[in-house]
Amino acid sequence: MGLPPTAGACENCKEMRRSASRIFETVDVLVTPTVPVPPFKIADLLGDQGTLRNKEQLTLRNTRPFNVLGWPTISLPCGRTSEGLPIGLQISGAPGEDATVLALAAAYERATS
């Protein structure tokens, strides 16, 4: 009979989570930009509907892996572009290390307020 189509994918996710978690053998947290590009203006998004999906995928590139992995992650404002658009800082931790992620986020906010 075999496995349902999603069962194999679920097993792949489990192995990916185990493998990716090894990064925390050498670091406590990962700090990355929330998105790899400055935010798009609404007018730019609506002006070219044909590229909307590509832009969406680009903006999710840094956040989607942590969603799939199930790692605790937080995004904090950390500045603005030269056009005044917000920039985000993303902090991610090992599974179960929610308190570590939140403590670093709080420390960053205190240091930059």
13 within a domain of the structure (yes/no): no
Tens-level pLDDT at each residue, the chain (113 residues): 444 455 556 778 788 888 888 999 999 999 999 999 988 888 888 888 888 888 889 999 999 999 888 899 999 999 999 989 899 999 999 999 999 999 999 999 999 98
54 within a domain of the structure (yes/no): yes
Distance CA 17, CA 32 (A): 19
80 within a domain of the structure (yes/no): yes
16 within a domain of the structure (yes/no): no
12 within a domain of the structure (yes/no): no
Distance CA 23, CA 19 (A): 8
Find the domain containing 56 and state its range: 25-112
9 within a domain of the structure (yes/no): no
Per the structure, the count of domains in the chain is 1
